[in-house]
């Protein structure tokens, strides 16, 4: 593979590893929000109107910002009837051939996310709830997560293509081999 493609793959994987490791801790933020709500309601008899939406927003950020890192680690759920029996090269060929479908989906999802984010920013869109938070921050996070997933899918495609051609991109300390985990 050309040096530029190898640099792209390493750069995107480093970026998604950093963002994904940050996103891992959002689950603790969500648990803290929910714990605060329980204590507020049961101990102080003061229910909070913002808790459910804030927990949902945190979960969305956790899911969408952590997704590219999960893809990099190859830890997504996969329907595996024959796949595990194939050689690494055969799996790479299959993955490279099916990557186009995922890229197609993600491009349209990103276009919709950008459009929705622009609308939220331009018109100050708020959620229809008693709390009524602005939606622009979560839409920015969602669009960023989709963009990072798109970039990671392209990186995985290049990695699979190189493996299918018999010239794998060396892993180094990437997340796929567990080298990036503590």
- pTM score, two decimals? 0.87
Q: What pLDDT does 168 receive? A: 86
Q: What pLDDT does 80 receive? A: 77
Q: What pLDDT does 182 receive? A: 41
Q: What pLDDT does 82 receive? A: 84
Cβ pair 153, 106 in contact under 8 A: yes
| Segments of the chain with pLDDT less than 70 | 171-182
Cβ pair 63, 165 in contact under 8 A: no
Q: What's the CA gap between 156 and 62, in Å, rounded?
A: 21
Of all helices (H) and strands (E), which one includes residue 98?
helix 88-123
| Tokens coding 57 | 């927003």
Q: What pLDDT does 159 receive? A: 93
């Amino acid at each position: 593979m050309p040096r530029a493609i190898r640099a792209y793959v390493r750069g995107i994987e480093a970026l998604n590893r950093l963002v994904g490791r940050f996103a891992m801790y959002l689950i603790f933020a969500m648990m803290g929000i929910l714990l605060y709500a329980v204590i507020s309601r049961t101990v102080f008899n003061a229910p909070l109107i913002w808790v459910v939406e804030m927990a949902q927003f945190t979960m969305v950020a956790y899911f969408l910002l952590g997704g590219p890192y999960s893809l990099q680690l190859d830890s997504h759920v996969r329907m595996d009837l024959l796949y595990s029996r194939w050689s690494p090269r055969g799996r790479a060929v299959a993955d490279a051939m099916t990557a186009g479908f995922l890229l197609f989906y993600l491009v349209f999802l990103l276009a919709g996310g950008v459009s929705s984010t622009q609308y939220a920013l331009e018109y100050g869109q708020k959620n229809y709830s008693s709390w009524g938070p602005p939606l622009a921050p979560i839409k920015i996070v969602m669009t960023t997560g989709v963009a990072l997933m798109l970039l990671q899918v392209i990186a995985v495609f290049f990695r699979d293509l190189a493996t299918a051609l018999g010239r794998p991109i060396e892993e180094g300390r990437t997340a796929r081999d567990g080298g990036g985990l503590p």
